[in-house]
Amino acid sequence: MRFMLLFSRQGKLRLQKWYLATSDKEKKKMVRELMQVVLARKPKMCSFLEWRDLKVVYKRYASLYFCCAIEGQDNELITLELIHRYVELLDKYFGSVCELDIIFNFEKAYFILDEFLMGGEIQDTSKKSVLKAIEQADLLQEEDESPRSVLEEMGLA
């Protein structure tokens, strides 16, 4: 997979992940172009399109478009499946996820994605293990955090 984008119906980017290092300028151009193409499509249309030399697989969940660019030989259906899996993960983690969740906790959404995909390849196909990893990392973070906030309060007091 080349990259993954999440953007809203209004064309606002919510999340982007590039698996090939790309310059900012190029990224911006591609994002803009792709958003135009995808947003112009009607709901009844199928989820695949050929764009530049890539295949684009997108799916709309509520007001969010999940959009992946894959190479010619990749399987479209599995990519669709992958998007769905990611949504499931988000859903499990946030509890009935919605766009605002992803704005609200954008770093978490990135962490989940990183835990699920790495370098554009699926890292773990099991939902459970991904969530477990995230939860543990979160725990670690909270452990980190709690002493800090106490210290801060002390400092403030």
Distance CA 10, CA 142 (A): 35
Residue from the set 37, 39, 81, 92 that interacts with other proteins by CB under 8 A = 81
Q: How many chain residues bind other proteins (CB under 8 A)?
A: 60
Q: Kindly state whether residue 52 participates in binding other proteins, applying the rule CB under 8 A.
A: no
CA distances from 52 to 15, 37, 46, 56 (A): 22, 11, 18, 9
Q: Kindly state whether residue 110 participates in binding other proteins, applying the rule CB under 8 A.
A: yes
Distance CA 86, CA 134 (A): 13
CA geometry: angle at 115 spanning 55 and 80, to 5°?
Answer: 30
- Residues forming the site for other proteins (CB under 8 A): 13-19, 21-24, 28, 42, 44-49, 62-63, 73, 75-78, 80-81, 95-96, 98-101, 103-104, 106-107, 110-111, 114-115, 118-119, 121-126, 129, 133, 136-137, 140-141, 144-145, 148-149
